[in-house]
Amino acid sequence: MSRCVGPGGRQVLCTKPTGEVLLSRDGGRLLGALHLEHPIARIVVACVSSHLKKTGDGAKTFIIFLCHLLRGLHAITEKEKNSWISENIQTHERHWKNCCQWKFISQALLMFQTQILDCIVDRYLSRHFLSIFSSSAKERTLCRSSLELLLEAYFCGRVGRNNHRFISQLMCDYFFKCMTCTSDTEVFELVDDCFIELNVGVTGLPVSDSRIIDGLVLHRDFSVYCPADGDIRMVIVTEIIQPLFSTSGSEFILSSEAQFQTSQFWIMERTKALMKHLDSQNVKLLLSSVKQPDLVIYYARLSGISVVECLSSEEISLIQRIIGISPFVLPQASSWYAISNSALVKFCKPFILRSKRYVHLGLISTCTFIPHCIVLCGPVQGLVEQHENALHGAFKMLRQLFKDFDLNYVKQTSDQNDTSNPLIHKNSRESNQLLKISNHSIQKPHHDIVVKNGDELEKTQAYLKVHSNLVVSNIELETYIPCSATKPTPTNTFQIDDTLKYLSSEKNRIIDDYELLTDNNLTGNSKTENTRVEIPYEYLQVTKISRTKSKLPVRYKSLDLGTPQSYHSSSMPAGSVLPVGGNFEILLHYYLLNYAKTCQQSEEAMVSTLIANALLGIPKILFKTKKVNYSFPQIYLRTLHALQTNQLMVSSQAGLESVIGKYQLLTSVLQCLTKILTIDLIISIKRQPQKIYDQDSEDEL
């Protein structure tokens, strides 16, 4: 597995019993192809695939990380076992003892994952985050160059190294062509769900012939094609247009030959009239999910209506999602009314790719997705599939990246109204009032979080000053809202004494309350009752704030993010990224070790160091092939030095990776590990698996 990781990794060829040949660097696919037998291995594979389904990235890292964790655990238990041997315990008993110990560790891991990890990520790591959004304008705009870097880094690990640049360029083009300025995550959902319909694979052409096509390409040919100009309208049908003798559940009685002939005549006339009617409504294209009879085809041709038959239900639903029309319902009576369920089409023409014919539609989108298709070329099917999967994975990754991610972590926060622009708003007349908080634990850094109200009129900035005091395991939420005169200043204090009894319901409540307060604050300032709740989430951006040991926080803006940016409470903002090359791992390693030093409980410290050391395994592999100057120890030392001296980290490689992806990977691995560790016995059953009848399903029926 390790040979496929990262940009220097190589391809793996899989063959199937049917004779198909598949090329892959996708960890999940490879694991599936291996057909591992060991039950633990199968648990791992199941965990990986469920992780992949969600994020589309990181299967190989998953395995490596897990491997290192297990090795680390083994080393720890070995050490302890040696001490036990002197106690002369019987083997069986020792086994149970071992299991108990593992279970203990697994609990510690779980606790770490739910409590400590989030806090560390938020407090320390978030300072290093970069954002892929450029914040020059008020709107959240996507920075093309950083997206390119991100995608390139992603495809480095997924497709063959001679193609990754081309594919990432293709993806980038596709992305920007499909997005409108108002597009949101809904586009990702659509592309992610319907990706199979949005690309066309062609074998036998060089990869460089792949391209993006405006409009939608349906994997079917026209049954009837009538070239039409001007306004083309189209309808979707999901049933046979021609009336039939009988529908299901009914009976049609033929009593005479004349009746039979008249009924056939009526069917014909009816079909003809319907087609004429469609034609009169300027409908020139009929998309059908079923095969239509010859009669319908004939009359469609006579009326100059193009017909596409046998579309899959996925294609139909994609078209419906894009243009937002429902299928055409056949009028029951002879009354003809205007057809409402039709949509305008820019063009519709046949499209020939490698002597196979497709239907090319120019849909006018009613949602934020502008339809485009990717034509993927490659010499062999395996390569085309690999690229297809990689692109799909990339969209999954982006979908995750563009979502805010809430961390289960609440800090002691204090709001403060700060007027950076006193000229603009009279409400913000209070001067830059800094709250004096007596900081008891000096070694804990101040964490400054800036919320920027994105309103165009107001430049109010609220500095949320965070002071965390986790050593005493107390979490206090203090909110001071020194608002303008209109609103009283509510000051709420929540206190939770014990972190260990940190129930999720309580957490939620606190977060809710906190948001409420923020909301109050903002509405008080702006006096506009729009969807201000969303704003902090919409305009989330990260500031790199230097960590200083003084009490007055000194802020400086990170180099690539020019204007002051906002940040809000304990959620990971959408679009946060880090440079590639094991930066995430090294950073987390560093902070975890630091944390472990301050830990009082031994197992917490143990778990943190364990994870920290295991994390280093990934960059070690990444830098294995590099030259001396870029070898792992060099990079490691350089980074640590930079961290200790509060310098900006210099990344040796261009390229970015999603923080959320990494974070989710970490939590998935830890969950998987706890699952494995809680198992104490494997019982193998040689019998055929018996069918388990699901009782719920019967109820549903």
Partner 1 sequence: MSRLEAKKPSVCKSEPLTNETVRATLSVLKGVLTSCYGPSGRLKQLHNGLGGYVCTTSQSSALLRNLSVTHPILKILTTSVQNHVSCFSDCGLFTAILCCNLIENVQKIGLTPTTVIKLNKHLLNLCTNYLKSEACGCRIPVDFSSSQILLCLVRSILTSKPACMLTRKEIDHISALILRAFLLTIPENTDDSIILGKSIIVPLKGQRVTDSTVLPGVLIEMSEVQLKRMLPIKKASALKVALFCVSLSGDFADTGEGTVVVSYGMSLENAALDQLLNLGRQLISDHVDLVLCQKVIHPSLKQFLSTHHIIAIDRVGVALMEPLSKVTGTQPIGSIGSVSSSSYGIVKELCSAKFGSKHFFHLIPNEATICSLLLSNRNDTAWDELKLTCQAALHILHLTIKEPWALLGGGCTETHLAAFIRYKARNEPESILTDDGCTQAELQLIAEAFCSALESLAGSLEHDGGEIVTDMKYGHLWSVQGDCPSVVNWPDLLSRCGCGLYSSQEELSWSFLRSTCHPFAPQTCLPHKTVSPTSNLIVDCLTAKLSGLQVAVETANLILDLSYVIEDKN
Q: Residue numbers of the site for partner 1 (CB under 8 A)?
A: 3-4, 8-17, 19, 21, 23, 30, 33-37, 160-162, 203-208, 240, 244-257, 260-261, 264-265, 268, 293-299, 301-302, 354-355, 378-383, 625, 688
**In this structure, what token pair is assigned to residue 663?**
């974070």
Shortest Å distance, C-beta 306 to partner 1: 14
Nearer to partner 1, 8 or 362 (CB): 8
Contact between residue 470 and residue 119 where contact means Cβ atoms under 8 Å apart: yes
Contact between residue 279 and residue 336 where contact means Cβ atoms under 8 Å apart: no
Q: Which amino acid is at 427?
A: N
Nearer to partner 1, 436 or 627 (CB): 627
Nearer to partner 1, 135 or 271 (CB): 271
Shortest Å distance, C-beta 149 to partner 1: 15
Contacts of 232 (CB under 8 A, 6+ apart): 282, 284, 285, 344, 345, 346, 347, 348
Shortest Å distance, C-beta 304 to partner 1: 11
Nearer to partner 1, 298 or 494 (CB): 298
Shortest Å distance, C-beta 354 to partner 1: 5
Torsion, Cα of 649, 654, 655, 656 (10° steps): 20
Q: Specify the 3-state DSSP secondary structure of 639.
A: helix
Q: Can you tell me the distance from the alpha carbon of 674 to that of 377, in angstroms, rounded to the nearest whole number?
A: 43
Contact between residue 622 and residue 361 where contact means Cβ atoms under 8 Å apart: no
Q: Which amino acid is at 694?
A: D
Shortest Å distance, C-beta 436 to partner 1: 53
Strands (E), 382-480: 405-406, 413-414, 417-418, 447-452, 461-466, 475-480
Shortest Å distance, C-beta 584 to partner 1: 24
Q: Can you tell me the distance from the alpha carbon of 83 to that of 97, in angstroms, rounded to the nearest whole number?
A: 13
Nearer to partner 1, 37 or 498 (CB): 37
Nearer to partner 1, 91 or 688 (CB): 688
Nearer to partner 1, 99 or 302 (CB): 302
According to DSSP, the β-strands at 372-378 and 199-203 are parallel
Contact between residue 220 and residue 312 where contact means Cβ atoms under 8 Å apart: no
Shortest Å distance, C-beta 345 to partner 1: 20
Nearer to partner 1, 277 or 321 (CB): 277
Q: Can you tell me the distance from the alpha carbon of 131 to that of 337, in angstroms, rounded to the nearest whole number?
A: 54
Shortest Å distance, C-beta 387 to partner 1: 12
Q: Can you tell me the distance from the alpha carbon of 228 to that of 305, in angstroms, rounded to the nearest whole number?
A: 9
Nearer to partner 1, 13 or 554 (CB): 13
Nearer to partner 1, 41 or 364 (CB): 41
Q: Locate tokens 């792992």: which residue?
A: 632
Nearer to partner 1, 12 or 679 (CB): 12
Contact between residue 534 and residue 566 where contact means Cβ atoms under 8 Å apart: no
Q: Can you tell me the distance from the alpha carbon of 201 to that of 208, in angstroms, rounded to the nearest whole number?
A: 13
Dihedral (CA of 283, 284, 287, 290) sign:
positive
Phi first, then psi: what are they for 369, rounded to 5°? -95, 125
Shortest Å distance, C-beta 504 to partner 1: 40
Shortest Å distance, C-beta 386 to partner 1: 10
Q: Locate tokens 């596409």: which residue?
A: 308
Q: Can you tell me the distance from the alpha carbon of 123 to that of 545, in angstroms, rounded to the nearest whole number?
A: 11
Shortest Å distance, C-beta 241 to partner 1: 12
Shortest Å distance, C-beta 621 to partner 1: 14
Shortest Å distance, C-beta 71 to partner 1: 21
Q: CA 474 → CA 416, 477, 481, 500, distances in Å? A: 22, 10, 22, 10
Q: CA 387 → CA 23, 83, 167, 358, distances in Å? A: 10, 53, 8, 21
**In this structure, what token pair is assigned to residue 696?**
């719920």
Contact between residue 680 and residue 627 where contact means Cβ atoms under 8 Å apart: no
Nearer to partner 1, 212 or 226 (CB): 226
Q: Can you tell me the distance from the alpha carbon of 445 to that of 442, in angstroms, rounded to the nearest whole number?
A: 7
Nearer to partner 1, 203 or 281 (CB): 203
Taking alpha carbons only, the member of 2, 6, 4, 3 closest to residue 583 is 6
Nearer to partner 1, 176 or 245 (CB): 245
Nearer to partner 1, 386 or 658 (CB): 386
Q: Specify the 3-state DSSP secondary structure of 692.
A: coil
Q: Specify the 3-state DSSP secondary structure of 578.
A: strand
Strands (E), 136-203: 141-142, 199-203
Q: Specify the 3-state DSSP secondary structure of 665.
A: helix
Q: Locate tokens 């708003």: which residue?
A: 425
Shortest Å distance, C-beta 472 to partner 1: 52
Shortest Å distance, C-beta 378 to partner 1: 8
